[in-house]
Structure 1
Amino acid sequence: MSDKDSAQGTGVQTRSEGWKTAAKMLQDTAPLTVPEGASAMTIFVEWEPGDPGSPPHRHSGPAFGYVLEGAVRFEMEGEPERVIEAGGTFWEPGGDPIHYQDGNALPDACTRFVVTMLCAPGKPMLELVDEEELAQRAHLRAPRPTG
């Protein structure tokens, strides 16, 4: 290939072997229940320092997240609260379980993450859970951390 071909993009490029090692598995989740006719959407979330995040809610289908920066305080119904730092992943099965927390675990820095959700047709991306249902399902919530 001549310099002229290279500059004009008409020459053949040699493919790098980098593709063999460029991808890194971040999350592998099974089994999944995907609503029939689901659509996929990816959102970017940015919480200010200390922001508690969304109120308790659920999604109509599974959701998969990746923390870009900061740390997310994450809690799903039946699971203990945990903090997921930058580079970490999380997922929600969707359907009935309540997602209690997704806020910023840091008091002095922003937290940013992306989430891809598979949504059932005609359903909102996020459905808030009212106080009455939270009270009825309190026994399903993992014990709260102390101290």
Structure 2
Amino acid sequence: MAQSKATSIRTAATKVAPAKAQAASTADELVSVLRDTIVSLVRRDGPDLSSRQLAVFLTCYLQEEGHTVRGLAAELNVSKPAITRALDRLGELDLARRKVDPLDRRSVLVQRTLKGAAYLKEIRSIMGEAGAAKKVEKEVRPVRAGRRAA
């Protein structure tokens, strides 16, 4: 009984190891795509957002529900003043704007802008190009390694 249990544990471990290696490889690729995207955004003419500003921007544009300063602070687990500073910068760049909620004047709604939608489209394009380049690089690497072995 103990031997069969040990065997099943070893069998399970041999199945988990490739999955962990695949997950690590995928994570490495995603981090590389993120790096390439951020480098492209920094190099081009246009807004240069901090990670907090980018997090606020992406949360507002990728999640459909209406956003408030209070809700963004809770979702991102940062203070309301930090969200306000991020929104100040996004407002300066016309990537988002704040509006008093007509139903609850104590609440401030965050609205999307046309310029913000265009910026998101640009981010998607840059990420798509970076992801495609990584995919090509991944496909070419094994071919080169195979040629060396031959």
| Higher Rg of the two aligned structures | 2
| Normalised-by-shorter TM-score class | under 0.3
Q: Which has the higher contact order (CA 8 A, sep 6+)?
A: 1
How high is the TM-score relative to the length of structure 1?
Answer: 0.23
More strand by share: 1
Structure holding more helix per residue: 2
TM-score (norm 2): 0.22
